[in-house]
Structure 1
Amino acid sequence: MRAVTCRATELRVEELPEPRPERGQLLIDVLRCGICGSDLHARHHSDELADITARVGYDGVFRSSDSVVFGHEFVGEVVEVGPKCTGRMRSGTRVVSFPLLRRDGAVHLTGLSPFAPGGYAERTLVEESLSFAVPNGLPDDAAALTEPMAVGLHAVRRSEIGRGQVAVVIGCGPVGLAVISMLKATGVRTVIASDFSSGRRALARACGADEVVDPAADSPFESSARAGHLTAAPDVFELAVGTMEKLRRLPFVPWERIWRVADRVGLAEPKRPVVFECVGVPGVIDDLMAQAPIFSRIVVVGVCMEPDRIRPAMGINKEIDLRFVLGYTPLEFRDALHLLADGKVDAEPIVTGRVGLGGVETAFDALADADRHAKILVDPRSEATAPAPVGATT
């Protein structure tokens, strides 16, 4: 079986032994596999990633001395059903799978562990219990985006954003585009997207962003005052004094009773935007804490693999809510698949190219050009050694 391996940052196509499904597992032919930003990071920062995951009790992430097959965003066709399966996924069924695999009594991260090879390969193993049949004839390219779309859906749900709140998405790479898509799919009315790349700003618009901003020219928070967000400490002071002046003038009803009622129905809190940090480079979180309106919630979706610094006093003085998110639940994975299949999320703009196994290294390099590429898919049956435009035959 042909697969792309990574060892000591070097990517190469190799012949590997054919995988065999164990209890409760399926063997699938990989039809498409997305190249994720976490793969790009892990290629060069695997030891740091392994150290961090070890601190939370998981020692299975590969190190630079290990050989790993990347790829956790895949769609495939079942070719063999392992023992003790339920029979729900028969041979020939197209499936997407939650990227976890049980091996030797432990559960491992598919595509990031040498114990769970991923989808940069002709075939890979998945758990039947974590696999979902692709519905409604959803094309392979779109089905392969189930995993990144689940990341976006999880970020939106964890943000607890209301439909009437303003969402500000910083960074319009694949993660930011998934967040934008899911914000609109879940009914958020105002989504502002910010990216230095004109190409990615165009993709953000195609994914449903209501306003796109070049941060080199304008601030994504320019309209905050018009939206009723508080942008300076004197605004907060005036709100407190002005509110109490009005409440104290009311006859018969104690002011604190009115305040408590307003608090219970959510009317006592000032308006606040929800900011999604989807860049993942040092300095961005601190910069957003300084720029965002007072009381903002910042949801960190981008993965920064380097040490970073923030000013806690800035967060305290602005009462910033800083929230970190990771991954998704099986239900969110399923829901992302069905949002794609039902046409409620249009993934077409995100896919900008395809390569075969022999073109993976070239694709890694191509993804550095933000104006040309967002998501490149690996098609193990393709001979393309450079990213072929979507729609081209390979």
Structure 2
Amino acid sequence: MREPLPTEMRASVLRQAGEVVVENRPVPVPASDEVLVRVGSVGICGSDVHYFKEGRIGDFVVESPLVLGHEAGGVIVAVGADVDPARVGERVSIEPQRPSPTSKQTMSGAYNLCPHMEFYATPPIDGAFAEYVTIQSHFAFAVPENISDDAAALMEPLSVGIAAARKAGITAGSRVLVTGAGPIGIIALQVARAFGATEVIVSDLDAERRAQALAFGADRVLDAIADDAELRGLGMDVLLECSGATPAVRAGLEALAPAGVAVLVGMGADEIALPIPLIQNRELVVTGIFRYNNTWPTAIDLVRTGRVDLDGLVTGGFGLDEVEAALLASTASTSLKTMIRPGNGA
């Protein structure tokens, strides 16, 4: 016999910029098409840090208390009326979004671009720094036993890397430049390899992050300042720009061979000057990605088969009472992925 579920849970709540507190909240009740997940692990994303420090990201403003965290996994403990009860007890990774089923974008398959999207930890939608969350059942993906709770949570940033690689058309023989060796850059490096890239070069300003890139399989690393001239002359097929830094965008574009593809992944300045003659004369394709769609099955298989290492990204673990410290720790150059574990902390 299953133990009855609690009626209250603990959640870490951002009340305003710079203020995070733990509150007791009702355990959410799953709607007919949803599952209730006991959260095992949640990764901290740069967007969580930005909301904590600034209270906003662009047009998304924290105007009322908000639960942060959108990289999550856990165990299904209850299901809605229309969901197979056999799913209770299933370990899952959460795709943290809810698009409108009838928008033009959703109907075309690009549901990540749905203008009516409800996304975890994007005001006013609460995220997963809590003991329990609900999600539509088809966005709770079963994970095998050889995938850890942390890795189940990190399928979300892995999905960003997969979306970028797909947009870039990376395939066998591709030569790829990744600018920025933070968490997404390290993931993008691994995904490029898994998609068949035969050379992956990573640039970053920080020596420790360049060393991390080598440890995760980069063929070469470059200092974005000291090796600037070499960087711009590389002649690569693909740029995955993961830093958001304006100089990296410009240098990365110059590093592309004719007919190269640049995918802008990192968030940076709202506006930057682009070298239009370079883009025209080399017929470069410059595009971006916004989240992901239809990536979770691929992400799970890449981790299950050992082609991508997510556990190796984890550099710290904290409990719900330590979210503020975790947010600050995640900004260190030695940090890749800091995890919140609502059940047991570190």
Q: What TM-score bracket applies, with the shorter chain setting the length?
A: 0.7 to 0.9
Alpha-carbon shift at residue 359 of structure 1 (Å): 1.6
Query: Structure 2 counterpart of 1:70, which letter?
Result: L
Q: Indicate how the Cα distance of structure 1 residues 291 and 187 shifts in structure 2: closer, same or farther if over 3 A, else same.
A: closer
Residue matched to 1:111: 121
User: How many angstroms apart in 2 are the aligned matches of 1:166 and 1:219?
Assistant: 18
Residue matched to 2:221: 212
Equivalent of residue 156 in structure 1, options 158, 161, 165 = 165
User: How many angstroms apart in 2 are the aligned matches of 1:313 and 1:353?
Assistant: 45
- DSSP 3-state at the match of 2:26: coil
Residue matched to 2:91: 94
Q: Under a length normalisation based on structure 1, what TM-score does the superposition of the two structures give?
A: 0.75
User: How many angstroms apart in 1 are the aligned matches of 2:163 and 2:39?
Assistant: 25
- DSSP 3-state at the match of 1:12: strand
Any idea what the Cα deviations from partners look like across 1:235-288, whole Å, max 9, x if unmatched?
Answer: xxxxxxxxxxxxxxxxxxxxxxxxxxxxxxxxxxxxx52111100134432343
The answer to whether the 8 A contact 2:260-2:283 is kept is yes
The answer to whether the 8 A contact 1:194-1:220 is kept is no
Q: Indicate how the Cα distance of structure 1 residues 305 and 218 shifts in structure 2: closer, same or farther if over 3 A, else same.
A: closer
Residue matched to 1:73: 71
Alpha-carbon shift at residue 150 of structure 1 (Å): 1.0
The answer to whether the 8 A contact 1:193-1:209 is kept is yes
The answer to whether the 8 A contact 1:169-1:191 is kept is yes
Residue matched to 1:2: 10
Residue matched to 2:110: none
Residue matched to 2:210: 201
Q: Indicate how the Cα distance of structure 1 residues 47 and 145 shifts in structure 2: closer, same or farther if over 3 A, else same.
A: closer
Any idea what the Cα deviations from partners look like across 1:269-310, whole Å, max 9, x if unmatched?
Answer: xxx521111001344323433454454321101122644333
Alpha-carbon shift at residue 70 of structure 1 (Å): 1.2
The answer to whether the 8 A contact 2:50-2:57 is kept is no
- DSSP 3-state at the match of 1:16: strand
Residue matched to 1:326: 290
The answer to whether the 8 A contact 2:51-2:62 is kept is no
Count of residue pairs brought into register by the alignment? 323
Q: Indicate how the Cα distance of structure 1 residues 156 and 107 shifts in structure 2: closer, same or farther if over 3 A, else same.
A: closer
| RMSD, aligned CA | 2.4
User: How many angstroms apart in 2 are the aligned matches of 1:185 and 1:102?
Assistant: 29
User: 2:345 matched to 1:376?
Assistant: no
User: 2:321 matched to 1:358?
Assistant: yes
Residue matched to 1:346: 309
Q: Indicate how the Cα distance of structure 1 residues 192 and 39 shifts in structure 2: closer, same or farther if over 3 A, else same.
A: same
User: How many angstroms apart in 2 are the aligned matches of 1:198 and 1:363?
Assistant: 23
Residue matched to 1:261: none
The answer to whether the 8 A contact 1:283-1:309 is kept is no
User: 2:187 matched to 1:178?
Assistant: yes
With 126-135 and 10-19 compared, the bigger mean Cα shift is at 10-19
Residue matched to 1:122: 131
5 Å-filtered alignment, 1:1-394, equals 1-9=9-17, 10-44=19-53, 47-49=56-58, 51=59, 63-87=61-85, 89=87, 91-101=88-98, 107-115=117-125, 117-219=126-228, 221-222=230-231, 224=233, 229=235, 272-290=236-254, 292-304=256-268, 306-330=270-294, 332-370=295-333, 372-383=334-345, 394=346
Any idea what the Cα deviations from partners look like across 1:117-158, whole Å, max 9, x if unmatched?
Answer: 211111111111111111143111222211111110110011
Alpha-carbon shift at residue 378 of structure 1 (Å): 0.4
Q: Indicate how the Cα distance of structure 1 residues 284 and 193 shifts in structure 2: closer, same or farther if over 3 A, else same.
A: closer
The answer to whether the 8 A contact 1:33-1:120 is kept is yes
Q: Indicate how the Cα distance of structure 1 residues 28 and 8 shifts in structure 2: closer, same or farther if over 3 A, else same.
A: same
- DSSP 3-state at the match of 2:315: strand
With 125-134 and 201-210 compared, the bigger mean Cα shift is at 201-210
Q: Under a length normalisation based on structure 2, what TM-score does the superposition of the two structures give?
A: 0.85
Query: Structure 1 counterpart of 2:91, which letter?
Result: R
Alpha-carbon shift at residue 15 of structure 1 (Å): 1.8
Alpha-carbon shift at residue 340 of structure 1 (Å): 0.6
User: How many angstroms apart in 1 are the aligned matches of 2:197 and 2:251?
Assistant: 25
Give percent identity, aligned residues only: 32
Alpha-carbon shift at residue 197 of structure 1 (Å): 1.9
With 164-173 and 292-301 compared, the bigger mean Cα shift is at 292-301
Any idea what the Cα deviations from partners look like across 1:6-41, whole Å, max 9, x if unmatched?
Answer: 233122222222211111111111100000112223
Query: Structure 2 counterpart of 1:374, which letter?
Result: L
The answer to whether the 8 A contact 1:3-1:357 is kept is yes
The answer to whether the 8 A contact 1:203-1:350 is kept is no
Query: Structure 2 counterpart of 1:336, which letter?
Result: A
Alpha-carbon shift at residue 382 of structure 1 (Å): 2.9
User: How many angstroms apart in 1 are the aligned matches of 2:200 and 2:147?
Assistant: 27
The answer to whether the 8 A contact 1:282-1:306 is kept is no
Alpha-carbon shift at residue 353 of structure 1 (Å): 0.8
- DSSP 3-state at the match of 1:275: strand
Which structure shows the higher strand fraction? 2
Alpha-carbon shift at residue 86 of structure 1 (Å): 3.2
User: How many angstroms apart in 2 are the aligned matches of 1:360 and 1:380?
Assistant: 10
User: How many angstroms apart in 2 are the aligned matches of 1:8 and 1:311?
Assistant: 40
Query: Structure 2 counterpart of 1:112, which letter?
Result: T
Alpha-carbon shift at residue 221 of structure 1 (Å): 4.5
The answer to whether the 8 A contact 1:221-1:293 is kept is no
